[in-house]
Every structure is written in structure tokens, then in C-alpha cells.
Structure 1
Amino acid sequence: MQINRLLEIVYILLDKKQVTAKQLAEQFQVSQRTIYRDIDALSAAGIPVYTNKGKGGGIRLLDQFVLGKSMLSDKEQMDILSSLQGLNALNVPDVEPVLNKLAAIFNKNSTSWIDVDFSRWGSDSTEQEKFNMLKAAILNRNVVTFDYFSSYGEKTERIVEPVKLIFKGQGWYIYGFCRSKNDFRMFKVTRIKNLTCSMETFAREIPGDIWSDPLDMNNRTVKLVLKIESRMAYRVYDEFDQDSIAKNPDGSFIVRVNYVEDEWVYGYILSYGNDAEVIEPEHVRDIIQKKLEASLRKYL
């Protein structure tokens, strides 16, 4: 509590320029003796705070004082504010007041530079509500239950202790301990339906290396070689790393990428229509061909 009070005292002095010990004592509901001990602690920490006795006196900071100049470098100040801006964009509780106070203390502009919307384009408000529920469950360590649809359309009921939201491979995932499988699992958020947050809490800690077997879930990865036409350049550069892209003389692209092989990846390839061709592996090429033939038969 003392650290918070010391920070608040500095903020008040920067804002009001001068206050009395009695005013601070009343605000923090402590004795004036405690306030004077706090002033001594601030002085010992290198904060140039001093008191004037007599009529019109009080507690002041040296003029033109900026806290960061005595304790943190300019880069450290900006790193702290940037981190808080990121948390504030995620709507983490009680961050904005701290952000505003530190911005005033550091004499920095706290203009918001980041915003985060977890929902997909075209989704309704329920998608954002789902992320808000998952975020609250992680912060409060509440157990969640939901129906989960696998990439093959299989529905299962899950009870999960959520520990982290992760953006990976152009999708959002919730990582947590699945009581149904008695192990940590990754769940794609868009496949979560009927989400509910219980009042039950958990104390399980996140394992050290969550990427040792990420997104596996009994699926195998496949190395794809795709030829994609030049008119899809906007998608190629949006959706693939530069190192995985090679441009052909005719303007088309060769893309090499590793994906978990499931119905999602087949659908992803098909989303390019006739602008993408599977070069390798042969079995995926055959699968895409069969899916296209089956689709064509519906129109004959």
C-alpha cells in the first residue's frame, strides 16, 4: 500500500504543485506523521520534494521536475507507457488510471496509439463478447465450459481452465487445461460455441513451454508448395511470411508453408478458387482435385 501511496503523492504534487500534510493525511486516511515519513522516503529515493513551514507553506516538488529524469530513461518511460497502452486496449481493469498518472509523472503524451478488436470482419457483437468472457475468465481464473467443434465437425463438451489467449497462424486460440482430456490443449476461438463462465476458480499454473506441441491435437503437419496467381498478391503478402514467398518471372508466386493438415487447410486452399494450385504434396493435390470435382457435379 505504501508504494501506491507514494506514487499517488508524487502525482498529486505534480498536479496541484503544493499541498499540506494535513490535506494528504485526510485524503489517504493516515496520520500526518505517516505523511512526513512518506516524504522522507521520497527524498531518500531521489525525488526532490521539500516542505515550507509557516503561512502559505506546504509540500512541494522542485519546479520543472519530471520523475522519469531521476529514475528512468526516456526509452524506459516510453516502454512502460506502451505496455500499459497495450493492456488498456485489451480492456484490462484499472489500467487507464495508472496510465494517465504515469503519463503525467513522465510528462509524456498518453495519446492512445493501439486498439484491439478480437472479432473477425463481418462478425456480430457476440464474437467480441466471447473474447471478453475468455479474458475475464483468464484474469479471474474461472473455469469455463463450452461446446467445441473440431475441424471435422465433431462436437464435444469441454471443461477448461483457461490460462492464455494466443494469436497464431491467422487465428485466435485459447490455451488451457482441458479436464475432459486431462491435459493442456489449444482451442480455436471461432469453433467455441455456448461459452459459459462458472464461479469455480482454479490455481493451475501455465507450463513453461506451451509451444512444445502446439495445435497438434493428434493432427499432423504437411509441407505445402502452392502456386498462386499474381492477382492474389494482396493475399499472398498478407497471409504468408516473406521468407516463404518466391516470385516467378510471370508475376505468379510459389509459396512454401507448413500447416496442420485438416479440413481447414483444404478449405483455405479452395478459398483461392482457380488462382491457386497445389504443387506438392501429391496426396493433397489429389484431395483438392476430388473436392473440386465433387463441387462441380452439384452444378451439372
Structure 2
Amino acid sequence: MRSSRLLQLMLTLQHGRSTTARALAEETGVSVRTIYRDITALAAAGVPIWTESGPGGGIRLLDGWQSKLSGMTGVETTALMLLGVPSIAADLGLGEAIAAAENKLLRALPAPMRTDAQLWRERLHVDAPGWFTLPDVNVHLPVVSAAVFAGRVLELGYRGSTRRVDPLGLVAKASVWYLVASRADRVLSYRVDRIESATAASDLATRPADFDLAGWWAESMASFDRALLSFPCRVRLSPSAIRALPNVVGREATPDPTDPDDDGWSTVDLVLESEEVALGQLMSLGVGVEVLFPVSLRTALREAGLEIARRHT
């Protein structure tokens, strides 16, 4: 990306040493002709570059000049545009602040890099809630997030009881916000839209020095999935049902099927949440499913099919 290379050139020259176009070309992996075009673009954008040809000459920045983005690459600068995801910023009460920060960042960039960064804001929009769903109401999220970042104890009204917790972080999953906090030496997650009241206390929260929010969340979700899926069953599926299965039971719960039999159908061993849940999920596969085990699920699916047929006679 050209914006990344331009910023790399600017930061290289900012170190105060004079260099040559050939050395810059070797460092950035482009031709000398391209380097001269980049130098011209930076100069046109207001970067005070001094060049001199011949022995003892070279390319350098005007003495004492420093960019406002020391240490940042073009890719990093462009990636900052993604911080302003509208739904997340609005939930946190930071919509206006994020927009203002983005504008300041863009104004600090030289014109060629500003164009690339602006493209991300103009051409990428994240709509977090799923289809046919309304976003959750998170009236207490601003108070909760303020306590998280200030490191203050939170007093929560949650499911009819009062709980005093040490906030450790926030997680946004599929437009649902979760507070991760410790209480009585246990780390738990709380759905923010189910918090009935939230007050930040004056005392500081206790946070383990080695706590890794992303790592804890990943392990927590894996443990939850393992605990939830406890009903084994074996089914025979048509080719169309095999293709639809990940959308019905989830990709994590979809094992590899056996090779197709003479009818083109495959056998799959599943572990689902319960017999009731399995019945509803497998019924969505229509005529493309046959339950082989257990007998109780096979019978339940047969009876459900007979009832559907009776209602449509």
C-alpha cells in the first residue's frame, strides 16, 4: 500500500540522517523512480524534504522537523479507522468522541496517506445486530465501562440481587455486551442488558496482574460449549442436509460425515444440547434426515412428522 510506504519513508528520514534514493529503494523494495515520485508526493503534502544531487548530496528532512505520527505505520494508521465502529462507539457513549478523534487523525496525515485512511471510513460499515433482531438496550453500559477503565469496584443489581464485583473488562459478542468481573475469587460474565442497576464505588478494584481478557473469554466459551452439548445422536443425512447442517447445529458441532452410501446419504455422529433441542434442529432439515440413534429421538421425529402430515391432510 502506497500510504504505508510514504509513512515509512517519512519516519526513516525523521531519524535525522541523509540518505540516497537508491538506499531508500532497497529498504522499501521499490524502484528508484518510484522513490522520487514518493518524495515529490510528500513534498507536495507539506513535508519539508531537502534533496541535493551529486557527491555528498542526498535526501533528508529539514533540521528539527518531526511528524506528528512517530512510530506509526501506514497500515496501523489506516487500521485506527476501524476503532469507530458506530454501534460499539454509540453503546459506550463515545460516538461523538470517536468521530472527533478520527477527524483529528486524518488531519494529521499527509494528503496521500489521508486518502487511503479515509477510504476505510467511507467504504466500511459494521452493522452488528443480526437480521430481524433489535439491538439490546444497554442503559447501564456507560457507567459499567467507566468503572472498567477507571478500575473501580462496581455495585450491580443483577437478577434480583445486589452484587459487588471487581470489573476486569468488557466483551461485545454479536451485538451483546458482557461484563467480565471477579467476585469471591471467581471470574464470571454478566450480560449488560440484564443489569438492573450499576454504581461505581470509590474504592479501587482488584485486578490480577496476569489476567488476559481475550484468553479468558475464549476458554470460557469453549467450556460453555462443552458443558452445553451432552446429547449424543447418530443421523443419516442427504447431500442437501449435509450442506445445511452447519447452519442448523453450528460449525463447531458439525463433525466430518462418513463417505456417502449407495443412495448418496452420509452418517454423522452429533452431540447436541438435549433431545428436545435436537428434535427441533433436525426437523429443520426436512426430508433429508433419518435418525438412527437413539430410539427415543427417532420415535419423536416420526411422531412429529405424522402430526405435521395429519394437519395437512
Q: TM-score, normalised by structure 1?
A: 0.50
Q: TM-score, normalised by structure 2?
A: 0.48
- Greater share of helix residues, 1 or 2? 2
Which protein has greater RCO, CA pairs closer than 8 Å, 6+ apart? 2
